[in-house]
Amino acid sequence: MLRPPVTATLADFVVEARFEDLPTAVRGEAARTLVNWVGGCVGGASHEALGTIWRAVGPFSGPAEATVLGSGRKTDPLTAALLNGASGAVLDFDDTHLRTVIHPASPIAPAVLALSQHMPVTGAAFLHALVIGIEVACKIGNGISPDHYRHGWHITGTCGVIGAAAACSKLLGLDGQKTRWALSAAATQAAGLREMFGGMARILHAGRAAQNGLSAALFAREGLVSSDAGIEAETGFAKVLSRRHDWAEMTDGLGERWETLENTYKPFATGIVAHPAIDGCIRLRRAHGLAADEIARIEVAVNPIALMLTDNPAPTTALEARLSIQHVCATGIVHGAAGIAELTDEMIQHAGTVALRGLVDASPDDGLERDQARVRIESRDGRVFETFVEHAYGSLENPMTDPDLDDKVRTLSEPVLGADRTERLITLCRGVAELRSAAAIAEAGEAA
Amino acid sequence: MLRPPVTATLADFVVEARFEDLPTAVRGEAARTLVNWVGGCVGGASHEALGTIWRAVGPFSGPAEATVLGSGRKTDPLTAALLNGASGAVLDFDDTHLRTVIHPASPIAPAVLALSQHMPVTGAAFLHALVIGIEVACKIGNGISPDHYRHGWHITGTCGVIGAAAACSKLLGLDGQKTRWALSAAATQAAGLREMFGGMARILHAGRAAQNGLSAALFAREGLVSSDAGIEAETGFAKVLSRRHDWAEMTDGLGERWETLENTYKPFATGIVAHPAIDGCIRLRRAHGLAADEIARIEVAVNPIALMLTDNPAPTTALEARLSIQHVCATGIVHGAAGIAELTDEMIQHAGTVALRGLVDASPDDGLERDQARVRIESRDGRVFETFVEHAYGSLENPMTDPDLDDKVRTLSEPVLGADRTERLITLCRGVAELRSAAAIAEAGEAA
């Protein structure tokens, strides 16, 4: 058959999936995804863009039953999903399914979180819904990548809304028919243009995906008839939003080959293509105790795509600096880290970093993969230090360790929630599968 | 210049437009658009699909300050925009900008209506915002038609959200920068797949367009930075959602050649391609006092597209019957009308209509335009009656008269609001330009 029943197959997967069948590794990775997302979401809550969104829609929001993480406020679940979705995306520090470039937690986790405060949801059900959402979003993404993203779609929004609907359908216990309707109702709300990457409207994509995916499942539960084939139909999601549509990739290996295991987390708050170079710089600093003022020259060789996207010797804002390979390499050497704290508007004026970035000579090398880099540092007294990064830290082959992931969350969350609540939040997310009520997570993420 | 600043030009138009400069004909047509929309929206309010939407999102809605027309309830303005948008589309009886097939009032009027109860809005400002929204939506639509719709997009949703944002930007008094942000934030929420036409999720397109267009303007007012070129950028709306993008068509004649004057209203609650044939049948019935049981044969010749879309001799549901040229022609002869009341699930079982539709012989004729038809009726006693419909009733060249438009509203609204409130509503919409407070319209449309 040329066009198999993709929507129905995905719906069957959603309906029939059992938490008991989730491999331990998948549960573990999903918990790591949750830990990483919660950190970024709490950390992002105080960003001014979140304030603009809240001022716009807050006056029209409903009963305050769902937490907006890190914000000190509750609102209705749909509005909470919008805000937590936007908040998780605003620092650009969220998880990445590398093959599709989907950031799966940002649109899916907020929808699950909102429902966990609206109805009784066990920790296992919460974790399972998150996994189901990730699987559905990323399988669909596999089937339309890379054309869909290249063409201009922000895939986190477009596939994310369907993933969020899948997750919520599972939590709401929808049957096959209603799950097909939910997936289709989500597909017809898919949106998000890459043109928004330059501004803050970008964060609406994950936010709306979370909110609209949740409401698609609620519509279906109440009986709103939509399509049984919203994803694969002739005028459905895949054919309208992508020239490539590999139907098999959207369904093959469901419940067997887990996309959740392919999820990765950023150790550095920068464009991901710059990560190998930063990693190399930090390694040399650590290995040789290098101080910035000893350095005469830094040579960085990277895959050409990294330079295409991040060659900017003199950035003037934090947003620009995070996409400047010269600046982030200098930051790695000066601070031994390149997180949010090292890349604020204030920090990027740091004289030592500004001086050092002038010494960075970045060049393209076709022989290097995207997660590779070669870094060579010459000291003023003539010593030479070199390293080859085979797989950047945070890549699939060299993932962030659990302690580093927890530290990332601490850095993001402690300024907002304080140390005690942050530790509690990490502990709850790590142990989510054992929670009697998953609502404890959102409650722990509430700022005082 | 290959790609002119479309978003900025449209934003300038929105900011600089003055009600005083609106030609009388444009004001009049906009009022007719409002009258027609209000009728369909009130009439649609009791449709079960509206109930499903309300049950899904109602529990999460906010302060009850905006009317859901014909429903007996108020809710927050964003939720009201969703519901009124869906309600105006559910009977498929809304206005049509024929060139683009945009139904402009459904996504735009609900956003304007919601704001009219949230802040002081004069009738002139209300009418002006409606015109501005229609102009922006339809000009953009002109520039991407027909490819965009053919490719699978429900253009009422995709262009409608930008039109709604334009209308709300005007009402909120946004400056040029914020209006550009609003238009771009709307563009990145553009959605709606034609695959949904078979079910009720279709009505979400107009509903979300109204709601998201309104919120795009609210986001921009609060300072959410988006793009200055969301419509024309390389990864912006037009290039991502259409292969055709005629930039000149999106801006030429702004404020001079009015799309509002091209808006049309359906006299029949059926697929628009069947209108010429129905018109011919009703003309013959009126001219010759034909009764159904006198008829031996009905020959209908139409543009081939009409048969492609509506050739269905034995429909079983109202939805199907409204897209059956055989059924709707028979309905026209039996009832002398083909409105919502004549095309309910009950009415389509009417034995006389079922018998008569079996006598309809519909054939394609390449020589006929889409708004033309030839109808020939033979009576049992051998008489022959013929007519040629040069422009179907309700087409641009043969528009519905004001009294007929008012009657259409009465038929739709009286069962919901009663006669007195219906008359008041019609009077207020007809005289909208003179109202001190446009909120009177929504209040009149409140069911007791």
| Burial status of residue B293 (CB atoms within 10 A of its CB: 0-12, 13-18, 19 or more) | exposed
Residue type, B290: L
User: B257 and B163 in one domain?
Assistant: yes
Measured distance CA(A303)–CA(A333) in Å, rounded? 21
Contacts of A264 (CB under 8 A, 6+ apart): A95, A96, A97, A98, A394, A395, A396, A399, A400
Round to whole Å and give the CA distance between A327 and B382: 91
CB burial class (10 A; 0-12, 13-18, 19+) of residue B65?
middle
pLDDT higher than 80, residue A1: no
Which of B 57-96 lie inside 8 A of A, CB atoms?
Answer: 57, 59-63, 76-79
Residues of B (98-157) whose Cβ lies below 8 Å from A: 151-154
Spell out the residues 6+ positions from residue A401 whose beta carbon is closer than 8 angstroms to its own. none
Same-domain pairing of A323 and A210: no
Strands B66-68, B96-97: pairing kind:
unpaired
Strands of B17-140 (E only): list them: 66-68, 73-75, 96-97
pLDDT mean over B31-52:
97
Q: What tokens were used for A234?
A: 């002739």
Q: Rounded to whole angstroms, how far apart are CA atoms B293 and B289?
A: 12
pLDDT of residue B198: 78
Examine the domain organization and report whether B323 and B407 are in the same domain: no
Assembly ipTM:
0.95
Torsion angle defined by CA atoms of residues B17, B23, B27 and B28, in that order, rounded to the nearest 10 degrees: -170
Amino acid identity, position B84: N
A368 confidence band (pLDDT: 50, 70, 90): very high
Q: How confident is the model at residue A319 (pLDDT cuts 50, 70, 90)?
A: confident
Q: How confident is the model at residue A198 (pLDDT cuts 50, 70, 90)?
A: confident
- Scan residues 353-412 of B and list those with Cβ closer than 8 Å to A: none
Is the domain of A341 the same as that of A287? yes
B254 and B289 co-located in one domain: no
Cα nearest neighbour of A231 on chain B: B195
Asked whether the predicted pLDDT for residue B69 surpasses 80, the reply is yes
- The answer to whether residue B40 sits within a structural domain is yes
What is the residue type of A194?
R
- Domain stops at, among A367, A389, A411: A389
B344 at interface of A, judged by CB pairs closer than 8 A? no
Q: Is the peptide bond before B77 cis (omega within 30 degrees of 0)?
A: no
pLDDT at A108 over 70: yes
> Same domain, yes or no, for A379 and A406?
no
pLDDT band at A41 (very low <50, low <70, confident <90, very high): very high
- Nearest chain B residue (CA) to A229: B195
Q: Which of A61, A195, A221 to mutate to test the interface with B (most CBs of B within 10 A)?
A: A195
A422 contacts: CB under 8 Å, gap ≥ 6: A42, A409, A410, A413, A414
Residue type, B272: I
Residue among B60, B224, B235 whose CB faces A201 most closely: B224
**Sign of the dihedral defined by the CA atoms of residues A393, A399, A403, A405, in that order:** positive
Show the tokens assigned to A294.
């000893």
How high does pLDDT run on average in chain A?
A: 96
Chain A interface includes B317 (CB < 8 A):
no
**Pairing mode, strands A295-302 and A360-364:** parallel
Contact A224 B52 (CB under 8 A): yes
Which pLDDT score is estimated for A448? 74
Task: Name the β-bridge partners of B194.
Answer: none
Same domain, yes or no, for B25 and B100?
yes
Q: What is the count of structural domains for chain A?
A: 2
CATH number for the domain spanning A124: value is 1.10.4100.10
Closest CA to B330 of B360, B303, B302: B360
Residue A359 domain flag: yes
Residue A217 has what pLDDT? 98
A-B contacts (CB, under 8 Å): 196
Residue A346 is assigned to a structural domain of this protein? yes
- Position A293 scores a pLDDT of 92
pLDDT of B443 over the 80 cut: yes
B61 or B322: which leads in pLDDT: B61
Q: Is the CB of residue B387 less than 8 Å from the CB of residue B284?
A: yes
Q: Rounded distance, CA A226 to CA B249, Å?
A: 34
Sign of CA dihedral B61, B66, B70, B73: positive
3-state SS assignment for residue B61: strand
Nearest in space to A138 (alpha carbons), one of A198, A173, A96: A96
Residue A251 domain-assigned? yes
End-to-end CA distance of chain A: 56
User: For the segment B213-271, what is each residue's pLDDT rounded down to a tens digit?
Assistant: 999 999 999 999 999 999 999 999 999 999 999 999 999 999 999 999 999 999 999 98
The DSSP call for residue B153 is B
Q: What is the pTM of this model?
A: 0.95
Whether B86 and B56 share a structural domain = yes
Q: Would you say residue A257 lies in a domain?
A: yes
pLDDT band with cut points at 50, 70 and 90 for residue B447: confident
Locus of tokens 């993709």: A6
What is the pLDDT, as a whole number, of residue A139? 98
With residue B289 as reference, give the H or E element that holds it.
none
Residue-averaged pLDDT of chain B? 96
Residues B141 and B252 both lie in one domain: yes
- Taking an 8 Å cut-off on Cβ atoms, the answer to whether A200 and B61 are in contact is no
User: Alpha-carbon dihedral of residues A28, A29, A31, A32, nearest 10 degrees?
Assistant: 120
CA A233 distance to own-chain centroid? 29
Pairwise CB contact (< 8 Å): B52 & A199: no
Q: What's the domain range around A128? A: 6-265+402-444
User: Cβ separation of B191 and A190 shorter than 8 Å?
Assistant: yes
Quote the pLDDT of residue B377. Answer: 97
Tell which B residues from 228 to 287 touch A, by Cβ distance under 8 Å.
229-230, 233-237, 239-240
B180 and B7 in contact (C-beta within 8 Å)? yes
Q: Is residue B370 located within the same domain as residue B345? A: yes
Nearest residue to B174 via CA among B283, B13, B317: B13
Burial of B85 (0-12, 13-18, 19+ CB in 10 A): buried
Report the gap between the CA of B206 and the closest CA in chain A (Å). 11
Does position B1 have pLDDT exceeding 80, yes or no?
A: no
| Alpha-carbon distance values, A24 to A34, A44, A128, A259, B154 (Å) | 15, 30, 12, 14, 44
| B277 and B406 belong to one structural domain | no
In a domain, B395, yes or no: no
Q: Provide the shortest C-alpha distance from residue A240 to chain B (in Å).
A: 6
- Scanning every residue of chain A, which has its alpha carbon at the shortest distance from the alpha carbon of B61? A62
> Do you know the residue count of chain A?
448
Rounded to an integer, the average pLDDT of A219-239 is 97
**A99 domain residue, yes or no:** yes
CA distance A244 to A229: 17
CA dihedral A315, A320, A326, A328 (to 10 degrees): 130
Confidence of residue B136 (pLDDT cuts 50, 70, 90): very high
Closest residue in A to B218 (Cα) is: A56
**Confidence band for A432, pLDDT divided at 50, 70 and 90:** very high
SS (H, E, C) chain A: CCCCCHHHHHHHHHHHCCHHHCCHHHHHHHHHHHHHHHHHHHHHCCCHHHHHHHHHHHHHECCCCEEECCCCEEECHHHHHHHHHHHHHHCCCCCEECCCCECCHHHHHHHHHHHHCCCCCCHHHHHHHHHHHHHHHHHHHHHHCCHHHHCCECHHHHHHHHHHHHHHHHHHCCCHHHHHHHHHHHHCCCCCEHHHHHCCCHHHHHHHHHHHHHHHHHHHHHCCCCCCCCCCCCCCHHHHHCCCCCHHHHHCCCCCCCHHHHEECCCCCCCHHHHHHHHHHHHHHHHHCCCHHHEEEEEEEECHHHHHHHCCCCCCCHHHHCCCHHHHHHHHHHHCCCCCHHHCCCHHHCHHHHHHHCCEEEEECCCCCCCCEEEEEEECCCCEEEEEECCCCCECCECCCHHHHHHHHHHHHHHHHHHHHHHHHHHHHHCHHHCCCCHHHHHHCCCC
How much is the pLDDT for B26? Answer: 98
- Degrees to nearest 5, angle at CA A303 with A301 and A305: 125
pLDDT of residue B448: 74
Asked if the Cβ–Cβ distance from A199 to B61 is below 8 Å, we say: no
Q: Which of residues 192-211 of A touch B (CB under 8 A)?
A: 192-196, 198-201, 204-205, 208
What pLDDT, in 10s, does the model give residues B3-25?
899 999 999 999 999 999 999 99
Q: In terms of residues, how long is chain B?
A: 448
Q: Which of left, alpha, beta for A101 (phi over 0: left; psi -120 to 50: alpha)?
A: left
pLDDT at A318: 87
**pLDDT digit string, tens, across residues B307-334:** 988 999 999 988 889 989 999 999 999 9
Residues B226 and B369 in one domain: no
| Residues in chain A within 8 Å Cβ distance of B227 | 195-196, 198-199, 201
pLDDT at A274: 95
Partners of residue A243 in chain B, C-beta under 8 Å: none
> What pLDDT does residue B328 have?
97
Closest CA–CA distance from residue A236 to any residue of chain B (Å): 5
Best of B151, B159, B188 to mutate (most A CBs within 10 Å, chain A) = B188
Residue A73 included in any domain: yes
For residue A316, what is the domain's CATH number? Answer: 3.30.1330.120
Question: CA B148, CA B169: separation in Å to the nearest integer?
Answer: 25
